[in-house]
Amino acid sequence: MRFEFIKCHGSGNDFPLIDARGLTLPDAQWAAIARALADRAGPVGGDGLLLLVDGRDEAPFGQRMFNPDGSEAETCLNGLRCVARAGFDATGLDAALVGLPKSDAWAARVADLAPGVATIATRVTSVSANARDVGLTVGDRFVDAPIPGLPSERRFTALTMPNPHLIAFVDVVDEAELVALGDWCESAPPLIPGRANVSFVAMVDDGSLFVRTYERGVGLTDSCGSAMAASVHAAALTGRIGWDVEVVIRNRGGLVRGRTKVDPSVEIAGNATFEYRAAVDFAPDTGQLGAVTLIEDRAVERDAWRSLLTASRN
């Protein structure tokens, strides 16, 4: 079985992306492909596998995303920008609804963050602070409040984007504490059997947010798009920023622009960088990858993103 794929990233959240329109592989096979392609010890590596899939209803195309452990996520907003760009390239559109497994999201090409940095804006309206929507088995709603049964005394805001997030605002991000709590949630405890993404968020002096996330099915990650969206919405819910105000969200992988509204919705604008296009053989019987064959290098795009990162950190 041979696949072409694009190695891409949104705000440093990197993925192999396959155009799977018209393909009818069973989910177990996609899960196996994700485990092989996204394996950091393998020839490609990534924070998961993105699929550009056929659309439905008013959405001309859709997105699926499989984590490196083979589980499927409801969405991935950093990945969504990359999938939307691939969908726009394939269809000739510049804006469209994108079908997600449990919802839809709007996406559009917008002005570049910097010269040569392809930029896509996404808007998610499937936002909820209902504890049951988040997957919690206690309470009705948690906004800057302790969550009974969680092994942390911190105050959290629980949200879906539509995947589940627990957001705590901190003065300083303690990565060891974040990993310990993320590992606990990853064990699918009775409090949240579907697991959750956990983020510590620090307010920066320049008014931006710094987000560090333990991503469900991934672990500690340099960037998680839905966590950045959840953090912006949580900051507005708790009065830390205003509604409908643009804010910069930073993480280890880079930065995006974000804005949230009471309706509720969250809009994120960030890069969708294509690093290279390649092909690889996959053996379904063993789950092993063959050699990767480079088809097209996108060095100019990689360099443009690195220049933006350097400028943003100076």
How far does Cα 311 stand from its chain's mean position?
A: 23
Contact status, residue 170 vs residue 202, Cβ threshold 8 Å: yes
Contact status, residue 194 vs residue 188, Cβ threshold 8 Å: yes
Domains 2-123+271-313 and 131-263 in one fold:
yes
Q: Look at residues 123, 120, 17, 133 and name the one whose alpha carbon lies nearest to residue 64.
A: 17
Tell me which CATH code domain 131-263 carries.
Answer: 3.10.310.10
Q: Each residue of 36-83: pLDDT tens digit?
A: 999 999 999 999 999 999 999 899 999 999 999 999 988 888 999 999
Q: What is the residue extent of each domain of the chain? A: 2-123+271-313, 131-263
pTM: 0.86
Instruction: Give the chain's radius of gyration (CA, Å).
Output: 19
Residues annotated catalytic, as ranges = 76, 224
Whether the per-residue pLDDT at 201 is higher than 70: the answer is yes
Q: Each residue of 156-184: pLDDT tens digit?
A: 999 998 899 999 999 999 999 999 999 99
Q: Look at residues 314, 224, 222, 229 and name the one whose alpha carbon lies nearest to residue 269.
A: 229
Whether the per-residue pLDDT at 314 is higher than 70: the answer is no
Architecture of domain 2-123+271-313: Roll (3.10)
Backbone angle region of 45, left / alpha / beta, with phi > 0 → left and psi within -120 to 50 → alpha: left
